[in-house]
Amino acid sequence: MEIPITIHSDEKGYFDRECPNENCLYTFKINMQDWKEKISDDEVHCPMCGHIDTADKWWTQEQLESMQEIAASYAMSMITKELDKAFGKLARSTRNNKFLKITYKPSKKITFQNNPIGQSEEWETDITCEKCGTRYSVIGSAYFCPCCGHNSAVSAFNESTDSIEKMLKSLPEMKQLLTESYGRDKAETMCRGLLESSLGDIVSSFQKFASCHYDKLTGEISRVNDFQIVEKGNQLFKDATGKGYEEWLSDKELHNMNMFFQRRHLIEHNNGMVDQKYVDKSGDNSYVIGQRLVIKENDAYALLAIIKKLAKGLMTL
C-alpha cells in the first residue's frame, strides 16, 4: 500500500531535515531542488556533527508526526469503506430472508485528509557549498556540506569570529540582565568568565581555520595544537609556501598575538596565575610572578582584529 504524500518548501525553496544521530539531532534546511538533484540516496552529511546516513533517515520529528497522521487518516478511511461495503452487502443479502435479517447502519463517513506537509519559517543564514554548490540553511554554526561533506574552513571561521564579536558587544547588556537576576557579584564573575573564555574561543577559531587551510595547501595533516603556538604555526606556513605571518602582520602585531595566545594558555591551564614560563614565552613584563591576569575587552578585540587580518592574508595563499 502506498500513500502519496506532498511536501511543500518554505518561501525560499528550502525544506527541513534532522540529523538521525541521537547524540546530535541537529535541524537544518536544504534547497528542495538540490535535495532531489544533487543528494545521493546513499550518503547525506550532517552539517553540524558530520554524521553520514542514507537519504531516507533525515525526517524531522514534526514531519514524522504529520506522516503518521496522514497514514492514520488513510487507514481509517479505508477501514470504514471496507466495513460499509462488506456489512452493507451482508445486510442486503438477508433482506428477503424470513428466518434471518441483518441490519447495518453505516458509520459516519471518514474522509481521507492528505494535507501537504509544510516547513518551519525560513532562516537567515544561507550557505552555498564552495565545492559542490549545494544550498542549505542553518541556525548558528555549520561545518559540513550535507551533499559532499566538504568542511569550509573559511565559512566556519567567519561564523565563529562573528559570533565572538557579537558576544563581546553584548557584554554590557548581559551584565545588566545578570545583575537583575543574580546580583552584582555573580554578574561580575560570570561576565569576567565569558570575557576570559573569549580568548580561548578566538585561538580555537584560528587553530581550526589555519589547520584546515594548511592541510589543504600541503596535503599533509597538521597536529591538533600546531597553530596554537604562534612561532610554530608561522614556521609551518613559511616552510610550505615561503610566506610566514610577518607577510601580513607587523612586529608589534606578531608580539601581541603571541602574548594573547600565551594568556589564553595560562587562563586555561593555570587559572590565569602568572608563572616564569608565561613571562619567558610571552615577553610580557607588565606582570610579576604570582599575579593573576586581568583580561580587558580591548584585549579580546585586539586579538580578534589580528587573527582576522592574518586569516585574510593566509587565504591568498
Can you tell me the mean pLDDT for 265-271? 95
96 falls in which pLDDT band (50, 70, 90)?
low
Residue 45 and residue 155 in contact, taking contact as beta carbons nearer than 8 Å:
no
Can you tell me the mean pLDDT for 33-62? 95
Q: Are residues 141 and 46 in the same domain?
A: yes
Planar angle of CA 313, 199, 256, nearest 5 degrees:
55
Q: Are residues 159 and 305 in the same domain?
A: yes
What does the alpha-carbon distance between residue 156 and residue 144 come to, in Å, rounded to a whole number? 9
The verdict on pTM exceeding 0.75 is: no
CA 247 to chain centre: 33
Q: For residue 55, give its domain range.
A: 1-151
* pLDDT surpassing 70 at residue 57: yes
pLDDT tens per residue across span 201-231: 999 999 989 998 999 899 988 887 899 999 9
Q: Are residues 11 and 144 in the same domain?
A: yes
Q: Are residues 291 and 240 in the same domain?
A: yes
Q: Are residues 158 and 294 in the same domain?
A: yes
Q: Are residues 251 and 218 in the same domain?
A: yes
pLDDT tens per residue across span 59-75: 999 889 888 887 777 77
* pLDDT surpassing 90 at residue 140: no
Q: Are residues 78 and 212 in the same domain?
A: no
What does the alpha-carbon distance between residue 227 and residue 163 come to, in Å, rounded to a whole number? 21
Domain boundary (116, 151, 186) is at 151
Q: Are residues 72 and 160 in the same domain?
A: no
* Total domains in the fold of the chain: 2
Q: Are residues 280 and 206 in the same domain?
A: yes
Q: Are residues 146 and 157 in the same domain?
A: no
Q: Are residues 101 and 187 in the same domain?
A: no
Q: Are residues 139 and 186 in the same domain?
A: no
Burial of 261 (0-12, 13-18, 19+ CB in 10 A): buried
291 falls in which pLDDT band (50, 70, 90)?
very high
Domain boundary (151, 179, 196) is at 151
Can you tell me the mean pLDDT for 11-36? 94
- 65 sits in the region (left: phi over 0; alpha: psi -120 to 50; else beta) called alpha
Residue 287 and residue 293 in contact, taking contact as beta carbons nearer than 8 Å:
yes
CA pseudo-torsion sign 140, 144, 146, 150? positive
What does the alpha-carbon distance between residue 169 and residue 175 come to, in Å, rounded to a whole number? 11
Domain boundary (99, 120, 151) is at 151
What does the alpha-carbon distance between residue 311 and residue 309 come to, in Å, rounded to a whole number? 6
What does the alpha-carbon distance between residue 206 and residue 192 come to, in Å, rounded to a whole number? 22
